[in-house]
């Protein structure tokens, strides 16, 4: 039976196995289409737009994803301490008012954890978010176990990365995307085990290559042409990859070249009975992307290690039976309609910003509590009775089974992952009922601001003084600074100073990926139906797995 999305009016199907899942979870069928549900959840997560702010309890200055928000925001050390009491914000259930109104009041009064970090695991890494186990990192988000990494997101177990996204176990990489186990690579995407290379796509085990696509175990290749070592060295010199204009020329040439090569319809490895994109080591999971170790999941995105879940967005870490939750993870079982709940969670419904809680309903900012509703403590039997009554009450107001209303998120659409995955204009966002955050850059406290096009072509010609300047972005005019670690890495890797603000670099990097939307399309070689993230009107040639493998091996 076809349903009409209450958000975008599109028709969508709810197949039988989804109904079975809803029944098992004790929830009604959703009223929004999968994509509207996803965007709504993504709008709960601001990973990389950070602001200087003061802890509302101690006055300590630190970096936070929250700027102008209605609720108090505490530094994580304070938030996790006993210096404040979550019960102070507790409320009796008011049976004369809808639940969401009461939850919103609590949400906007209870203190929030001001930075999503794993306390005590960060060394010299103040400017980070959604992170743990870092040393000497700067402006990185959604990442763990890294050292000396800058301006990156979703990077793990890596050293010396700059401007990278979705990169794992890699070192000395710059502007790479969706790569694993790479070393000294620049501008590479969907590569594995490659080193000392530039502008590679979908390559495995390649060293000393430039502008290649779909190559395996190659060396000294430029734009898929096999050269001798001497020829390679000579040509590489001519391309001038140490000059800003040389890189830009090579980028353009590589982009044109890639369009002439077959593209794999999606990126999946070691999966069984799955559909999605950038999905690894998973089974029986559908419509999932940017995930690893999933089992029996559907519409799950940016999840590591998740089971029997639907509509779960970031991040997993041993989660099971999760439905319509955003930014929840680290050992979680049976969560419905929650946002930003972490670590050892069981049986939560409509909770936000809680940690270590079990059997809670409609709570905000609670730590290690059990049997609470709207931050008020009950006895087990009372809780169970009230929970049933509250669900009935929510059904009466058409709230049960609905995710939190859009305006509950404290973030502008453009601050969150929603913008990263589904970029829209301010007008579109506002028309759809989302908030928008105007970007206002602090005036940099510097000797001078220089336009990007006045920067020297090579790093050799950049004096130490650059640390005292700001550069104005060639695209957006936004000023940005260069930090010492960054300059050291540019010098070590022979990279010219970038001409674009870190946000613009991030945006351009994200634009290289096909959108995380699935299209029905035919393999350009054999005509077989494939479900791909390459829209039919795109210029790329798209091959099904079989045709792709026949081409590259």
# of chain residues touching Zn ion (CB under 5 A): 12
Please report, in angstroms and rounded to a whole number, the separation of the first and last CA atoms in the chain. Answer: 43
Choices 9-17, 227-235, 245-253, 488-496; region in contact with Zn ion by CB under 5 A: 9-17
Stretch that binds Zn ion, among 200-208, 209-217, 294-302, 527-535 (CB under 5 A): 527-535
Q: Is 474 helix (H, G, I), strand (E, B) or coil?
A: coil
* Shortest Cβ 537–Zn ion spacing (Å): 19
Q: What string marks each residue from 145 to 174 as x (binds Zn ion by CB under 5 A) or -?
A: ------------------------------
Q: Does 310 bind Zn ion (CB under 5 A)?
A: no
Tell me the C-alpha distance between 543 and 275, whole Å: 15
Instruction: Name residues whose C-beta falls within 8 Å of residue 134's C-beta, 6 or more positions apart in sequence.
Output: 121, 122, 123, 125, 128, 140, 143, 144, 145, 146, 147, 149
Residue 258 · residue 512 · CB < 8 Å: no
Give the three-state DSSP class for 246: helix
523 counts as binding Zn ion under rule CB under 5 A? yes
Residues in the chain: 553
266 touches Zn ion (CB under 5 A): no
Considering the complex, what minimum distance in angstroms separates the CB of residue 311 from Zn ion? Answer: 13
Handedness of CA 376, 380, 382, 384 (dihedral sign): positive
Smallest distance from Zn ion to CB 192, Å: 22
Q: Is 5 in the site for Zn ion (CB under 5 A)?
A: yes
For residues 341 and 523, which CB has a smaller minimum distance to Zn ion in the complex?
523
| 525 lines the binding site for Zn ion (CB under 5 A) | yes
Closer residue to Zn ion, CB minimum distance, 236 or 525: 525
CB of 439 or CB of 526, closer to Zn ion: 526
In angstroms, give the least distance from the CB of 302 to Zn ion.
Answer: 20
State the CB neighbour count (10 A cutoff) for residue 553. Answer: 8
8 near Zn ion, rule: CB under 5 A:
yes
526 belongs to the binding site for Zn ion (CB under 5 A): yes
**Contact call for residue 439 and Zn ion (CB under 5 A):** no
Binding-site member from 189, 360, 542, 547 for Zn ion (CB under 5 A)? 547
Residue placing its CB nearer to Zn ion in the complex, 4 or 17: 4
**Strand partners of residue 279:** 268, 291
Distance, CA of 164 to CA of 150 (rounded, Å): 8
Q: Six-digit token pair at 76?
A: 């994580």
Burial class (CB in 10 A: 0-12, 13-18, 19+), 125: buried
Q: Does 544 bind Zn ion (CB under 5 A)?
A: yes
Among residues 41 and 187, whose Cβ is nearest to Zn ion? Answer: 41
Closest to Zn ion by CB, 5 or 63: 5
**550 near Zn ion, rule: CB under 5 A:** no
Q: Among residues 13 and 101, whose Cβ is nearest to Zn ion?
A: 13
**CA 50 – CA 67 distance, rounded (Å):** 8
List, in sequence order, every residue forming a beta bridge with 52; answer none if it has no partner.
63
C-beta of 250 vs 310, nearer to Zn ion: 310
Least distance to Zn ion, CB of residue 177, Å? 25
Q: Does 206 bind Zn ion (CB under 5 A)?
A: no
Buried b or exposed e, range 448-461, using 16+ CB within 10 angstroms: eebebeebebbbee
* Interactions with Zn ion, residue window 24-83 (CB under 5 A): 33, 36
Tokens of 30: 């959703």
Binding site for Zn ion (CB under 5 A): 5, 7-8, 10, 33, 36, 523, 525-526, 528, 544, 547
């Amino acid at each position: 039976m076809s349903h009409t999305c209450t958000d975008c009016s599109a028709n969508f199907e709810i197949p039988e196995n989804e109904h079975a899942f809803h029944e098992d979870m004790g929830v009604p069928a959703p009223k929004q289409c999968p994509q509207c549900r996803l965007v709504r959840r993504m709008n709960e997560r601001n990973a990389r737009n950070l602001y200087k702010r003061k802890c509302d309890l101690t006055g300590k200055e630190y970096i936070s994803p929250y700027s102008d928000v209605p609720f108090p925001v505490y530094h994580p050390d304070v938030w996790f301490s006993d210096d404040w009491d979550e019960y102070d914000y507790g409320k009796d259930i008011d049976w004369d008012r809808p639940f969401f109104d009461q939850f919103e009041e609590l949400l906007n009064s209870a203190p929030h954890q001001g930075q999503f970090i794993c306390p005590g695991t960060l060394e010299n890494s103040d400017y980070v978010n959604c992170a743990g186990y870092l040393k000497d990192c700067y402006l990185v988000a959604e990442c763990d176990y890294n050292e000396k990494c800058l301006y990156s997101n979703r990077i793990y177990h890596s050293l010396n990365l700059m401007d990278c996204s979705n990169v794992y176990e890699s070192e000395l990489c710059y502007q790479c995307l969706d790569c694993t186990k790479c070393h000294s690579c620049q501008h590479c995407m969907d590569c594995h085990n490659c080193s000392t290379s530039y502008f590679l796509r979908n390559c495995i085990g390649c060293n000393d290559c430039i502008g290649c696509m779909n190559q395996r175990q190659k060396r000294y290749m430029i734009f898929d042409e096999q050269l001798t070592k001497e020829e390679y060295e000579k040509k590489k010199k001519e391309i001038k990859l140490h000059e800003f204009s040389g890189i830009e020329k090579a980028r353009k040439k590589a982009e044109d070249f890639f369009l002439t090569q077959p593209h794999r319809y999606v990126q999946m490895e070691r999966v069984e009975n799955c559909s999605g994109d950038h999905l690894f080591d998973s089974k029986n999971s559908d419509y999932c992307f940017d995930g690893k170790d999933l089992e029996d999941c559907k519409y799950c995105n940016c999840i590591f290690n998740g089971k029997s879940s639907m509509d779960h967005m970031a991040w997993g870490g041993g989660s099971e039976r999760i439905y319509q939750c955003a930014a929840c993870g680290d050992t979680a079982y049976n969560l419905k309609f929650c946002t930003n709940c972490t670590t050892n969670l069981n049986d939560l419904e409509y909770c936000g910003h809680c940690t270590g809680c079990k059997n809670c309903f409609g709570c905000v900012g609670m730590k290690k509590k059990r049997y609470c509703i709207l931050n008020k403590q009950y006895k087990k039997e009372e809780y169970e009775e009230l929970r049933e009554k509250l669900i009935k009450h929510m059904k009466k107001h058409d709230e049960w089974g609905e995710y939190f209303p859009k305006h509950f998120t404290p973030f502008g659409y453009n601050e969150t992952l929603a913008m990263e995955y589904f970029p829209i204009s301010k007008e579109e966002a506002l028309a759809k009922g989302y908030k928008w955050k105007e970007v206002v850059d602090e005036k940099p406290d510097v000797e001078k601001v220089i336009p990007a096009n006045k920067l020297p072509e090579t790093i050799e010609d950049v004096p130490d003084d650059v640390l005292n300047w700001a550069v104005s972005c060639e695209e957006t005019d936004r000023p940005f600074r260069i930090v010492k670690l960054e300059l050291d890495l540019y010098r070590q890797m022979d990279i010219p100073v970038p001409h674009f603000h870190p946000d613009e670099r991030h945006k351009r990097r994200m634009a290289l990926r096909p959108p995380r939307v699935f299209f029905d399309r035919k393999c350009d070689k054999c005509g077989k139906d494939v479900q791909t993230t390459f829209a039919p009107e795109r210029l790329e040639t798209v091959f099904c797995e079989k045709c792709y493998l026949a081409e590259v091996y």
